[in-house]
Amino acid sequence: MVFRKTAAISMSVILSMLVMAGCSSTSKDAGQAGTDKTATATSGSGGEAKALKDLKITRLYHGVMEQFKGSDTMNNNKIINKLRENSGFNIQYESLPNENPSQKISIIFASGDVPDLMMVAGKSDYFKLAKQGALEPLDDLIAKQIPNLSSMATKESLDALRYEGKVYAIPYRNALKVGNGLIERADILKELNLNTPTTIDEFYSTMKTIKEKKNIAPLTMATSSAGSFFDGFFPFSAAFGVSTPTVVKDGKLKFSWVQPEYKEFITTLKKWYDEGLLDPEFAVNKDSKAKLINGTAVFNTLYFSSGIDVDKALQEKKAGGSVQFIAPPVGKNGQSGIQDASISTQYIIIPKQAKNKLGAAQYLNFLYKPETDILINYGVKGEDYTEANGEYTQTKEQSDKISWRSMYGLGDTDFGIDARLKAKSLLPYYTHQLKFNKTREETNFAPSIEAYDSKFTELRNYVEENSMKFIMGKRDLSEFDKFTQEFDAKGGKTAIDALNEWYTKK
C-alpha cells in the first residue's frame, strides 16, 4: 500500500469541521432480515435491530502487512475469508500509514468517510477526538453487544479512558507481559564457581570477583538511543524503588528522578563505573549482545526475544557458552522488579459518523471469542495446524506461511502470545520471567494530561543525559540538588502538579 505525504493538518481544526451524526445504530424493518445487506441482532430495547453486513475497519500499520505472498492480500486470503464466513460480516481492512498516522486520522474524520472501527495510537489522539465529540460512546454497546470484552479489558483500563463519565474507546489488549530482562552468561559463573547474584550487594561482590579473575567489565549496556538508559538499567533502578517515572509518596505522585533514592541509584552505578565493573562504553554502545557472546561481559539487559539470538551465536562458537534470564536484584528495602510490558498504548474506537456501529460492536464480540482467537493465531485447522486433546501443533514453516494472520486481531490474548512465541521457539525465554515482580507506573492509568504529556519526553531526555554525566564523572554528584531544581524549572513541577490534580481525586 502506498501512502502520499500530505500537508500537516491540525486535528482540532479539522474536527471542528465535522457535522456530527446521530447516536442511534442503523436499523431496518424486520421484513428486511433476509437481504444481503444486513445481519440480524437483538437490540437492547427488545426489538430487532439490523447491523449492516458491510464493515470497514482501519487499523494501525503492522509490519506483518508486508509479508503477504503470491495471490494473498490484506483483503483476500484464507484467514479473512474465514472471518467473513464465521462472523457474517463483509469485512474490509485498511491500514493507516506507518509514518504520522495522526495526520491521516485527522484527514479521515474531516472527510466524513469514516470506517466503522478504527485503531488510534496514544491517549493524546484519543482524548482529542473524544473532546471534539467525534466518537460514539461505548458504554451501552459494551453492556449489550460485547460481553466477551470482559476477557480483554479490566474495569481499571476502561475507566482510564473515560471522558466526562463515558467510555469512548476500548484498549487494545497487549498480552505480552514481559519485555526486557536481566540476562547472564551462566557458563562463566559456573566456571568461576559463582552463584547467580540475587541482591544489589551480591551483584557488586560477584562482579568484583569476575573483574579480578577475568579482567573484564562484567556489566554491559547499550544506552546510546533516547530512553534506552532507563530500559537498560531498569532491573537495577527497581532495587532502589525508582524504576518508573513516578513514585507514590505521602499519597501523592512524585517524579522518581528527583528523589533521594534516585541519587543513591546513580551513586551506585558511578561506583561500579569507577571500579571498572560497568562497561566504559555503555553510553555509546548501539548493541551489547556481541560482548555477551564473545565473553567480554557477563551481565546485560536484553529484550526477551534476543535471548535466542545469543544462544544460537554461542552454539555456533561450540565453546559451551550458555545464557539465562535471571531475577532482578533485590535492594536493601526488599524492592525489585522488571518492566511491565502489558500496558496498552493503542485504542479501538467507533466514529460518531460510522454507518455500522452495531455491526462494529458485534464484530468486536466475535473477535473476542475463543474460536476466533484460535483462527487468528493458528490459522485453519488441518491446513495450518493440528489439534489433539486441546494441544495445538504447528510447525515453524506452517506459521511462517501465514505470518500476517495476527494483524486481524483487535486485541491480544495469552493464548495468542503463547502460540506465536511457541512457533518461534521463544516461549522458554518468555515464560521464565513471568514470575518476576513487575513494577507499576500510575500514569499508565491516567487520562491525557497536557502539562505532563507535552513535557515528558523532554524531561526524560534531560534526566537521561545528566544521569550518564553523573555516572561517568562529567558532572559532579554534589550538583544533584541543582539538577533537581533545573528539572523543576524545565516543567517538572508543573507536570507533577497537574498529575496530582488527577491522582489525588481518583
Task: Give CB contacts under 8 A, 24+ apart, made by 398-406.
Answer: 398/423, 399/423, 399/424, 401/69, 402/77, 402/78, 402/79, 403/64, 403/67, 404/64, 404/65, 404/67, 404/68, 404/72, 404/77, 405/64, 405/79, 405/376, 405/377, 405/379, 406/62, 406/64, 406/376, 406/377
Contact 321, 183 (CB under 8 A): no
Are both 50 and 158 inside the same structural domain?
A: yes
Positive or negative CA dihedral for 109, 167, 500, 465? negative
Contacts of 489 (CB under 8 A, 6+ apart): none
User: Phi/psi of residue 428, each to 5°?
Assistant: -60, -35
User: Phi/psi of residue 206, each to 5°?
Assistant: -65, -45
pLDDT at 264: 99
Task: Give 408-422 pLDDT, tens digit per residue.
Answer: 999 999 999 999 899
pLDDT band at 48 (very low <50, low <70, confident <90, very high): low
Residue 475 DSSP one-character state: S
- Lowest-confidence segment of 28-42, 127-141, 231-245, 374-388 by average pLDDT: 28-42
Residue 120 covered by a domain: yes
Residue 195 covered by a domain: yes
pLDDT at 257: 99
Neighbours of 34 (CB within 10 A): 7
Would you say residue 43 has pLDDT above 50?
no
pLDDT at 451: 95
Would you say residue 241 has pLDDT above 50?
yes
Average model confidence (pLDDT) for the chain? Answer: 90
Residue 66 DSSP one-character state: G
Residue 375 covered by a domain: yes
Q: Which domain holds residue 254?
A: 180-339+435-503
Would you say residue 44 has pLDDT above 80?
no
Are both 325 and 452 inside the same structural domain?
A: yes
Q: What is the CATH number of the domain that holds 440?
A: 3.40.190.10
pLDDT band at 37 (very low <50, low <70, confident <90, very high): very low
Residues 273 and 282: their CA atoms lie apart, in Å, by 10
Look at the chain and report how many structural domains it folds into. Answer: 2
Would you say residue 23 has pLDDT above 70?
no
Instruction: Please name the amino acid found at residue 82.
Output: K
pLDDT band at 233 (very low <50, low <70, confident <90, very high): very high
Residue 6 covered by a domain: no
* Nine cell digits for residue 63: 509490519
Residue 52 covered by a domain: yes
Are both 274 and 189 inside the same structural domain?
A: yes
Are both 202 and 314 inside the same structural domain?
A: yes
Enumerate the β-bridge partners of residue 326: 182
Angle at which helices 78-87 and 370-378 cross, to 10°: 170
Helix or strand holding residue 148 (H, E): none
pLDDT at 342: 79
Are both 378 and 498 inside the same structural domain?
A: no
* Burial call 328-343: b when 16+ CB within 10 Å, e when fewer: bbbbeeebbbbbbbbe
pLDDT band at 38 (very low <50, low <70, confident <90, very high): very low
Task: Give 330-388 pLDDT, tens digit per residue.
Answer: 999 999 999 888 788 899 999 999 999 999 999 999 999 999 999 999 999 999 999 99
Neighbours of 205 (CB within 10 A): 12
Are both 161 and 64 inside the same structural domain?
A: yes
Task: Give 264-274 pLDDT, tens digit per residue.
Answer: 999 999 999 99
pLDDT at 19: 32
Smallest Cα–Cα separation from 158: which of 348, 362, 25?
A: 348
pLDDT at 74: 97
Domain boundary among 372, 399, 426: 399
Task: Give 434-466 pLDDT, tens digit per residue.
Answer: 999 999 999 999 988 999 999 999 999 999 999
Task: Give 201-220 pLDDT, tens digit per residue.
Answer: 999 999 999 999 999 999 99
pTM metric for this prediction: 0.84
Are both 106 and 254 inside the same structural domain?
A: no
Residues 123 and 103: their CA atoms lie apart, in Å, by 15
Would you say residue 14 has pLDDT above 80?
no
Residue 5 covered by a domain: no
Residue 429 covered by a domain: no
Would you say residue 68 has pLDDT above 60?
yes
Are both 209 and 229 inside the same structural domain?
A: yes
Label each residue of 265-333 as H, E or C. HHHHHHHHHHCCCECCCCCCCCCCHHHHHCCCCCEEEEECCHHHHHHHHHHHHCCCCCEEEECCCECCC
Report, in angstroms and rounded to the nearest whole number, the Rg of the chain calculated over CA atoms: 26
Residues 23 and 354: their CA atoms lie apart, in Å, by 10
Are both 237 and 106 inside the same structural domain?
A: no
Contact 269, 230 (CB under 8 A): no
Are both 302 and 288 inside the same structural domain?
A: yes
Residue 135 covered by a domain: yes
Using a pLDDT cut of 70, give the percent of the chain over it: 90
Would you say residue 120 has pLDDT above 70?
yes
Positive or negative CA dihedral for 22, 28, 34, 35? negative
- Residues 182-192 have a mean pLDDT of 98
pLDDT band at 50 (very low <50, low <70, confident <90, very high): confident
> Under the phi-then-psi rule, with left for phi > 0, alpha for psi from -120 to 50, and beta for the rest, what region is 51?
beta
pLDDT band at 129 (very low <50, low <70, confident <90, very high): very high
pLDDT at 343: 81
Are both 211 and 226 inside the same structural domain?
A: yes
Length of the chain in terms of residues written: 506
Torsion, Cα 32 33 36 41, to 10 degrees, reads 130
Local structure of 354: helix, strand or coil? coil
- Residues 117-122 have a mean pLDDT of 95
Are both 54 and 97 inside the same structural domain?
A: yes
pLDDT at 169: 98
- β-pair type (170-171, 323-326): unpaired
Using a pLDDT cut of 90, give the percent of the chain over it: 84
Instruction: Please name the amino acid found at residue 140.
Output: D
- Residues 285-314 have a mean pLDDT of 95
Place of cell 539487559: 301
